[in-house]
Copies of this chain bind each other. A is one copy, B any other.
């Protein structure tokens, strides 16, 4: 039976939903709740700045199913606006908890520190950025409100906002409250009709393809997806956002489909399909290769947590999970394995000795053979992401990237969140120098928790992707000596990498160094780019 005390009830419910860590920075309006957290089984994880706590909670939520961040009023909460927006756009269920002035302090509307305009200003901001929000200002409704808002996070895999006035944390809610576990069900008749139509369409098709995206990951349906492929022998591609929902060595896996950004043979095979089963897919500009994708809606079945459509009609009241499980039970014919384009093996890598400068292409080739079964690849924005689309993610490897909202500065704090969620998985962080300068100092927080990510700084002295769109001095990033950061932070190991030989040595030492983080400052030419970014640029040029 959970506690009736509002603060403790919130903690109990978070635990029940799988949360074990809460990220944040304390402040006076939230200190009381911090003391409650401190006494609870949840672990507080400090970051240097609140922004990073938001990114860490986002990564934690992607891996663990739910994440939480706890900060003080406005000066803390408003620093989370961007990270929360990202969690909204990319479907990551983060619970934003903010302290606030006590209800008794608000009488006569005084000018209390951290207040912007009205006491509800921060709430109004988060209404724009979350799936549900509440201010726990009334003990009569507080426990119910906690249930409602947490349910929305789990149901929609979107962030939610809970504001806790400081005099409410230790107040009891109503007696005999029973936590509501809401289970939504599909309308059985509509479900039957939609599954039957989809199965018939798949059975008729000559070249059906599954396109797997982000919601397979968020709803933990990787096994169901695999069973569907095994049952039907229909091959599958992934979007960039969905990369790694299927182990990329799997024989029915085509590779990443992303219009002109992906490989040409995958693009042709997917676009020529006469029945494309899109599972949990969001057709963003990046997933569509900046709208170079050419998909015919008359050949598409698209199921997400928000919508189910077949060709040009929609079905209401069918849940994503139920539809996928329905297909698993449906009479799908098992076809002969098709001849599909398979991801080419990356060429095996032999580092040149001597002064041969490292290039983006060669860096990714080397990293591909550096991936282990326990690696989590975390990519920041730009060529760190584009280059990573061609990496072969192993069976149990995970890939985290912000391939739609695309906020810079995600990757280093994400390593903190992802590794706390799964300590045995070692993050390989790919981050440009511009993004690193935003949040890279969170290596501090990583060191505090003795985590051991390997951080590759793609140091090309600027906002590299922007240089290919329109260049100017505003794209220059000042040169830090990233490999010296361990001396400032007081732990970790740094390596300066300019040649293939130095890369080889640094990776070997980094792999052996399991007690602390390592950071590789990899010097690249400002205009160098990955094969994926190169493909995109060339294809876009053709269209002009």
Residues 465-488 of A at the B interface (beta carbon under 8 Å): 466, 469-470, 472-482, 484-485, 487-488
Given contacts A114-B405, A128-B117, contact A82 B75 (CB under 8 A): yes
Pick the interface stretch among A134-142, A331-339, A435-443: A435-443
Query: Do the beta carbons of A82 and B88 come within 8 Å of each other?
Result: no
Pick the interface stretch among A44-52, A215-223, A318-326, A422-430: A44-52
Given contacts A129-B125, A481-B487, contact A35 B470 (CB under 8 A): yes
Partner of A34, one of B27, B28, B474, B489: B474
Q: Is A11 in the interface zone, CB < 8 Å from B?
A: no
What 1/0 mask marks residues of chain A from 103 to 137 whose CB sits below 8 Å from any chain B CB?
00000001111111100010011001100000000
A287 to chain B, nearest CB (A): 8
CA distance A51 to B124 in the complex (A): 20
A133 to chain B, nearest CB (A): 13
CA distance A116 to B406 in the complex (A): 11
A20 to chain B, nearest CB (A): 16
Query: Do the beta carbons of A490 and B485 come within 8 Å of each other?
Result: no
B residues in contact with A111, CB < 8 Å: 282-285, 404
Q: Is A151 in the interface zone, CB < 8 Å from B?
A: no
Which residue of chain B is the closest to A85 with respect to CB atoms? Answer: B116
CA distance A46 to B86 in the complex (A): 23
Query: Do the beta carbons of A488 and B485 come within 8 Å of each other?
Result: yes
Query: Do the beta carbons of B285 and A473 come within 8 Å of each other?
Result: no
Residue among A85, A286, A447 with max Cβ neighbours from chain B (10 Å): A85
Tell me the number of copies of this protein. 2
Partner of A113, one of B129, B405, B463: B405
Given contacts A81-B125, A82-B78, contact A44 B445 (CB under 8 A): no
Query: Do the beta carbons of A110 and B474 come within 8 Å of each other?
Result: no
CA distance A111 to B403 in the complex (A): 12
B residues in contact with A81, CB < 8 Å: 78-79, 81-82, 125
B residues in contact with A32, CB < 8 Å: 470
Query: Do the beta carbons of B27 and A466 come within 8 Å of each other?
Result: yes
Query: Do the beta carbons of B437 and A441 come within 8 Å of each other?
Result: yes
Which residue of chain B is the closest to A124 with respect to CB atoms? Answer: B128
What 1/0 mask marks residues of chain A from 221 to 264 whose CB sits below 8 Å from any chain B CB?
00000000000000000000000000000000000000000000
Q: Is A171 in the interface zone, CB < 8 Å from B?
A: no
Given contacts A79-B51, A409-B49, contact A85 B74 (CB under 8 A): yes
B residues in contact with A46, CB < 8 Å: 474, 476-477
Given contacts A128-B125, A437-B441, A488-B480, contact A406 B85 (CB under 8 A): no
In the complex, the 4 A-B pairs of residues with the closest C-beta atoms, listed nearest first? A78-B82, A81-B81, A48-B437, A111-B284
Given contacts A31-B470, A78-B82, A110-B291, could you give 6 more A-B pairs where the C-beta distance is less than 8 Å?
A: A31-B469, A49-B438, A78-B81, A89-B115, A111-B284, A441-B441
Can you spell out 23 A-B residue pairs with CB atoms less than 8 angstroms apart?
Answer: A26-B472, A31-B466, A31-B469, A34-B472, A38-B473, A46-B476, A48-B437, A48-B478, A49-B439, A78-B85, A81-B125, A85-B116, A89-B115, A111-B285, A113-B406, A115-B405, A117-B128, A121-B129, A125-B125, A441-B441, A445-B478, A480-B489, A484-B488
